[in-house]
Amino acid sequence: KAEDEVLVCIQQKPKRTSQKEGKGENLAIGFDIFKTKVASSIYINSRSVFLRTDLKEGRYVVIPTTFEAGHVAEFLLRQFTDVPSDFQ
């Protein structure tokens, strides 16, 4: 099989302390997948963003980012495949 489908999801950690202060809004987040930029998600003001795409076998780097420079967030990265994977 030349390509395998993957589903990649990033999720912002809840901002419980900020929610008490009325600042619990999610940042606009997204991510890029690089093997010399293979795919890119949309940026949306949401707790999670996902992208379903086909990737050829190889090494890739997923880089979660915020849309606006200087905004900092912690992320949970999830990756699902339809075949066994050595994802690290």
* Structure confidence by residue, pLDDT tens digits, 23-42: 668 889 998 888 767 788 89
- Regarding the domain delimited by 3-81, which CATH topology (the fold level of the hierarchy) does it fall under? Jelly Rolls (2.60.120)
Tens of pLDDT, residue by residue over 60-71, are: 888 888 888 898
Q: Strand 3-12 and strand 48-56: pairing?
A: antiparallel
Q: Helix (H, G, I), strand (E, B), or coil: what is residue 64?
A: strand
For the segment 31-60, the average pLDDT, to the nearest whole number, is 85
Distance CA 2, CA 57 (A): 7
Higher pLDDT, 36 or 79: 79
Which tokens sit at 25? 């809004």
Is the model's pTM score more than 0.75?
no
- As a whole-number percent, the residues of the chain with pLDDT over 70 amount to 85
> Domain segments of the chain: what residues?
3-81
